[in-house]
Chains A and B, each alone.
Chain A
Amino acid sequence: MPVCNFFLQGRCRYGEKCWNEHPRGGNRGGGGGGGGGYNNYSNRSSGQQQPRSGGFGNRVWVNPSQQKGNYIQPSSFSSHGSDDWGHGGGGGGGGGGRRENVKSSDFSFSSQNRFSALNTPSTFDRGGRGGGGGGRAAGGTVGDEDDDKKLEVIQMDMDVWEKSGQWGFSCYYSFQTLVSGFTDLSPEELRLEYYSTRASGDLQGYMNAINQLLSQWKTRIQELKIMNPATRAALLAELNGAAPQGSSGGFGSTTATGFGASISSFGSKGFGAPAPAQASGFSFSASNSGFGSAATQSSSTGFGNILAAPTQPPSGFSAASSSAPSASSFSFASSTTDKSAPASGFGSASGFSFSSTAGSGFGVGAPATTGSSGPFGQTSGGFGAAAAQPTSGTGSAEGTSDSLFSPESKLTEEELSQFKAKKFTLGQIPLKPPPSNLLVV
């Protein structure tokens, strides 16, 4: 039977009733095949939507004029010249593996060889990318183009964000990761901070802090817009789920920049497993070292993971141990188990209690060790009121070991029992890291 050209193009009106041959597997992407006849006209066209969501667009899948004696025509959008692989392999990037199931025996090349052509970068068509996110087809070479698109999207987003007068102190999420270098601060928190400093009379400190935050935000946006190779590499690492290496992200300097306000409203407290020395917090107090997140080690990527998969090793946090009881701060040190799922620790002091008692700020990245459980890179917003002597620098009270494991004394009964049980019960998963002695390998 002759092969139905319309079927190959995905638009055969007769469907099953067609007198010509419809090679199976040849054209799934072209849209469901309809049920038969005219009745399913609309059906088919709606069926076409789905497979085409991968950015397929309206391209004709196969070019009937290029009959080579086999049924897989070189796809019209394929960018390669001489390659025989015409099965729209590039389109597979968008739509998933379906199209790779070439089953018809009429093909000229063996199925083992099917993907050999994919090894060359030229095989991949750029148009199939479409849907962003991760349509990874067979080859690793897909990655580059995907990433390019992602970066473009991020750049555009940054552009819009900057020009639109939107609130700048917000986290930014793209492609399943929270991009590091952005802090999340609500207007109410800043406003409360203002009211408290106003009461104490030192507005200049507040202004300076806000300006500092603003300039950091702007720097980070510029970085992401301009996308120099270093930023790009760091960003791609984040997007792809790895712990970002100490990048230039966001908050830049690790040197102390004190803010000079007498009230230590935004206390800072570094924390984090390794190399505490570099963590510097963000604080208003004169004595404290100021802002800076040293490296963006596993950043908030982990946070996204935490949210999405609570069964992962919970990011532990222990309320800043060194702070006074009313402290609202919080450090989120957690152990990164492995690269693929960095539960990032990052500290953030919650709330803003500005009374001059207690408090502890929040820390920002202790960088240093690559790929380790280094926490985060972003100063997540939230500042606890630091006391007059904010715990500067890193995890002072919490040594290296504390951030990875919590001593049993710090865990409540339920948490202990959860750790001792074979499996976590959903809804009662402890948020602190387990005590090291309970770890059984």
Chain B
Amino acid sequence: MSLFGTSSGFGTGGTGVFGSTTTDSHNPMKDVEVTSPPDDSISCLAFSPPTMPGNFLIGGSWANDVRCWEVQDNGQTVPKAQQMHTGPVLDACWSDDGSKVFTASCDKTAKMWDLNSNQAIQIAQHDGPIKAIHWIKAPNYSCIMTGSWDKTLKFWDTRSPNPMMSLQMPERCYCADVVYPMAVVATAERGLIVYQLENQPSEFRRIDSPLKHQHRCVAIFKDKQNKPTGFALGSIEGRVAIHYINPPNPAKDNFTFKCHRSNGTNTTTPQDIYAVNAIAFHPVHGTLATVGSDGRFSFWDKDARTKLKTSEQLDQPITACCFNQNGNIFAYASSYDWSKVCDNKSLQLLGQYSC
């Protein structure tokens, strides 16, 4: 994992980490590497919310653990704590007060980790691996939302073993995002559902996906009044769709753009197309970052519809990313995302690999 610190904004080339003399594809951006990274691929990253002083980063991994680091102002990281599941951890999130971390795993459970006491208890159970977990803080309730491959979306009060509510989805949940009062879930088979969370969660609309292929990641963005107004949806086909919920002019306001492809504008040779693994929005500027299987991350301005910056290529795909609460720090995780399975040669290597 690496951290990328800037003083302000993006696209200004502020820190000048570019242009190293030696090409180090492991960390070509010369960003700060986190100490004691997990032993297997990192599935998710999340920074602590503004209610807590300091920056704490949690990362879940395929090594069944979720780790917490403190990120100091000089960029150095200090490992703080770790919790285990019995299966790979797929998603993690913070509570709004920053005292608890919720983790979701392939072992079909979700746990609540109290950082002060370093205890974790199970708070949710599904019939299939839980792919997405988010904390919802509404004026009249707070709960955890979990989306699973068992095609259900469940809402849990952490004190009770039974879900407060269980909503059926058309297909397995592949990714979700929550910004109160809106939640978006993208499922397999191009399913896309928006939920409204006021009073109690209910399905708001099913949207015909603007993308042609499998959904991979989704992130909600807000308008100038800080209200959620739309989302960015990434697919395995190197494309991100920006979709507004109630735009004045849908045909013009919603658009898709291609990203994480090789070959730029050269149309003679076929492009290599990579999946977009994660999308994150800058909390202050509203610009978005995408990370892909090609091992690069890019920053974009969706209003000006321009690309701000693309990083150098890392040797591994980038699997997760997030901004800290004031947007000063961008963290991204470099690890294998299983994307080479479709390539026969790599598949053979996989067969020879034994654990």
- B238–A184 touching, CB < 8 Å: no
A293 to chain B, nearest CB (A): 15
- A170–B237 touching, CB < 8 Å: yes
A170: chain B residues at CB < 8 Å are: 213-214, 235-237
A330 on the B face (CB < 8 A): yes
A207 on the B face (CB < 8 A): yes
Taking CB as reference atom, which chain A residue is nearest B342? Answer: A168
Flag A183-224 by CB within 8 Å of B: 1 or 0 each. 010111111101100100001100100110010010000000
A341 on the B face (CB < 8 A): no
- B341–A380 touching, CB < 8 Å: no
- B347–A164 touching, CB < 8 Å: no
- A167–B214 touching, CB < 8 Å: yes
B49 on the A face (CB < 8 A): no
B304 on the A face (CB < 8 A): no
Q: Complex Cα distance A164/B192, Å?
A: 26
B211: chain A residues at CB < 8 Å are: 173
B170: chain A residues at CB < 8 Å are: 303, 306-307, 431
A192: chain B residues at CB < 8 Å are: 87-88, 106, 129
B206 on the A face (CB < 8 A): yes
A198 touches which of B108, B151, B338, B355 (Cβ 8 Å): B355
Taking CB as reference atom, which chain A residue is nearest B172? Answer: A350
Q: Complex Cα distance A166/B172, Å?
A: 21
B90: chain A residues at CB < 8 Å are: 188
B312 to chain A, nearest CB (A): 20
- B190–A307 touching, CB < 8 Å: yes
B135 on the A face (CB < 8 A): no
Given contacts A307-B170, A351-B129, whether A187 and B190 have CB atoms under 8 Å apart is no
Given contacts A164-B270, A170-B236, whether A307 and B150 have CB atoms under 8 Å apart is no
- B351–A203 touching, CB < 8 Å: yes
B246 to chain A, nearest CB (A): 17
- Size category of the A interface is 35 or more
Q: Complex Cα distance A330/B43, Å?
A: 26
A211: chain B residues at CB < 8 Å are: 344, 347
A6: chain B residues at CB < 8 Å are: none
A133 to chain B, nearest CB (A): 13
The residue among A173, A187, A328, A382 with the most chain B CB atoms within 10 A of its own CB is A187
Identify whether the interface residues of B are mostly helix, strand, loop, or mixed: loop
A62 on the B face (CB < 8 A): no
Q: Complex Cα distance A319/B270, Å?
A: 43
B202: chain A residues at CB < 8 Å are: 427
Q: Complex Cα distance A172/B190, Å?
A: 9
A352: chain B residues at CB < 8 Å are: 128-129, 149
A171 touches which of B131, B189, B274 (Cβ 8 Å): B189
- A203–B209 touching, CB < 8 Å: no
Q: Complex Cα distance A167/B212, Å?
A: 13
Flag B142-153 by CB within 8 Å of A: 1 or 0 each. 000000111100
- A172–B206 touching, CB < 8 Å: no
A354 to chain B, nearest CB (A): 9
B275 on the A face (CB < 8 A): yes
- A207–B149 touching, CB < 8 Å: no
A166 touches which of B168, B191, B273, B351 (Cβ 8 Å): B273
- B275–A166 touching, CB < 8 Å: yes
Q: Complex Cα distance A201/B208, Å?
A: 42
- A353–B212 touching, CB < 8 Å: no
Q: A207-B347, A382-B188 are in contact. List 9 more A-B contacts (CB 8 A).
A: A157-B212, A159-B270, A167-B342, A184-B190, A214-B342, A306-B170, A350-B151, A380-B188, A382-B171
- 22 A–B contacts from the bound complex (CB under 8 Å): A159-B270, A160-B271, A163-B270, A164-B238, A165-B342, A165-B343, A167-B342, A169-B214, A169-B342, A170-B235, A171-B188, A171-B213, A172-B213, A173-B211, A187-B341, A190-B341, A194-B338, A310-B206, A350-B151, A351-B151, A352-B129, A384-B128
Residues of A within 8 A of B (CB): 157, 159-161, 163-174, 178, 184, 186-192, 194-195, 198, 203-204, 207, 210-211, 214, 217, 300, 303-304, 306-308, 310, 326-328, 330, 348, 350-353, 380-382, 384, 427, 431
Residues of B within 8 A of A (CB): 43, 62, 87-88, 90, 106, 108, 127-129, 131, 148-151, 168, 170-172, 174, 188-192, 202-203, 206, 208-209, 211-214, 216, 235-238, 261, 270-275, 337-339, 341-344, 347, 350-351, 354-355
